[in-house]
Amino acid sequence: MAKKRIAVFISGRGSNFMFIHGEIEKGNIHGEIVVLISDNPDAGGLAYAGEKGIECRVFPWQVPRDRYFQDLMDFLEGKDIDLIVLAGFMRVLSANIIERYANRILNIHPALLPSFPGEEAQRQAFDHGVKFSGCTVHFVDGGVDTGPIIQQRVVPVLEDDDTETLAARILEQEHQLFPEVVRAFCNNQLEVVGRRVHVRE
């Protein structure tokens, strides 16, 4: 089985990208990050990718968005990408890219979906007063954080938590969960049946 060719999209810090790459380096994921794409020239992950010899492409955000994503798609076509990993990419993808890569785009969200979609999910959950939050990896569909859920990790909200401490403990779980799901994808273990995603042994 050929290694999956992965494009990772980021907008900022890039810690999830680094953890996924770390597992690839250890030989735990049957895939290769072919390119790192950022809409932000100052994204933290770019320097790391440079050090690791991963091709980086900055696509500075531009409107109209259809044109932006068409350019991005044309670029991806040339790279023969099997999987797109959204690791803190802060843009909603266009319909044509979602259709082209149906069930081949993963996103991580720092809450237990379908609760608290969208931005500042950790703050939304904390302010709502939940006792448990966590993170979700899901396939991307046309909505905001609405696609079929692949896997989740639960994180309890502690008595002396604030949004930042909760977010930090959720992030630790993200760093474990996202590489696990990428690994399962690369092993062809994920099967989507309607809204349910089965993880085959």
Binding residues (CB under 6 A) for ligand GRF: these are 10, 12-16, 87-88, 108-110, 171, 174
DSSP secondary-structure letter at 91? S
Least distance (Å) between residue 174 CB and ligand GRF: 5
Least distance (Å) between residue 45 CB and ligand GRF: 7
Least distance (Å) between residue 201 CB and ligand GRF: 27
Residue given tokens 């500042």 in the structure block:
120
Is 17 in a helix, a strand, or coil?
Answer: helix
Judge whether 109 counts as a catalytic residue: yes
The active-site residue out of 109, 128, 138, 198 is 109
Residue nearest ligand GRF, Cβ-based? 88
User: For residue 58, what are the β-bridge partners?
Assistant: 38
Cβ 105 vs Cβ 131: under 8 Å? no
Residue closer to ligand GRF (CB basis): 47 or 66 = 47
Q: At what angle do helices 45-52 and 15-25 cross, to 10 degrees?
A: 20
- C-alpha–C-alpha distance, residues 138 and 109, integer Å: 8
Residue closer to ligand GRF (CB basis): 31 or 110 = 110
Residues annotated as catalytic (active site), given as ranges: 109
